[in-house]
Amino acid sequence: MRCRAATGIALIALLFAFAACGGGSESSQAAKRHDDPRPERVSAADAADKPNVIFIYTDDQNLADFKARYMPQTFKLLTGPGTQFSDFIVATPLCCPSRATYITGDYPHNDGVFSNPSGYSHLTDKFNTLQVWMHNAGYRTAWVGKYLQGYEEGVPDPFKAAPGNDDWHATFDPVYYDYDIADNGAAVHHGSKPRDYYTNV
């Protein structure tokens, strides 16, 4: 389906906050697909000249809901100095395959994720993602919010960051209370009090 404006808030909010910096070692496992050129790492000096990038991704939202009448100050802060993607194609209406398309730049038949259950285990190349590309380009990357379904079953320790993420604050359970959040390798539990409500955290 073709869309004419940026999408806004819904079940997930995935935030990439890239603050320019260098450093960090590359994983020897970070092999790219043979048909994609591998991005080269840049120096900290070169990275300092790059802009910060914050990408907010949502799903299950009506395009008409992304208007200034909802949270007008937030809308202004996000859209005023930023870029809105006004002409884009959503490859699939399912949330996990759509997120996989976003982080790989591939259609589902190329990235391997066709459905929500066990999405991460079907991801064809886990080291050929936006986070890895940005990290290799000298950005400090962060993931906040829901990652691909099945990540927690597909890796030995889901509280450790997925490839390319310098900061990792991912959630895995589709619940609003009594859940764990990854905090850079540690599990932080949130219970059933009002302050623990998922969208407040």
What are the CA-CA distances from residue 151 to residues 22, 23, 38, 57 (Å)? Answer: 27, 26, 24, 18
Nearest-angstrom CA–CA distance, 171 and 129: 19
pLDDT at 41: 64
Q: How many angstroms separate the first and last alpha carbons of the chain? A: 32
pLDDT at 92: 87
pLDDT at 47: 63
Half-sphere exposure of 189 (CA within 13 A, CB side): 3
pLDDT at 39: 54
Task: Count the Cβ atoms, other than its own, within 10 Å of residue 61.
Answer: 14
Which of these, 154, 55, 38, 139, lies nearest to 99 by C-alpha position? 55
pTM: 0.72
- Under-50 pLDDT residues of the chain: 1-34, 36
Query: Do 99 and 57 meet the contact criterion of CB atoms below 8 Å apart?
Result: yes
Q: Is position 21 annotated as part of the catalytic site?
A: no
pLDDT at 38: 53
Alpha-carbon dihedral sign for residues 44, 45, 46, 52: positive
What are the CA-CA distances from residue 60 to residues 76, 95, 118, 184 (Å)? Answer: 22, 8, 19, 28
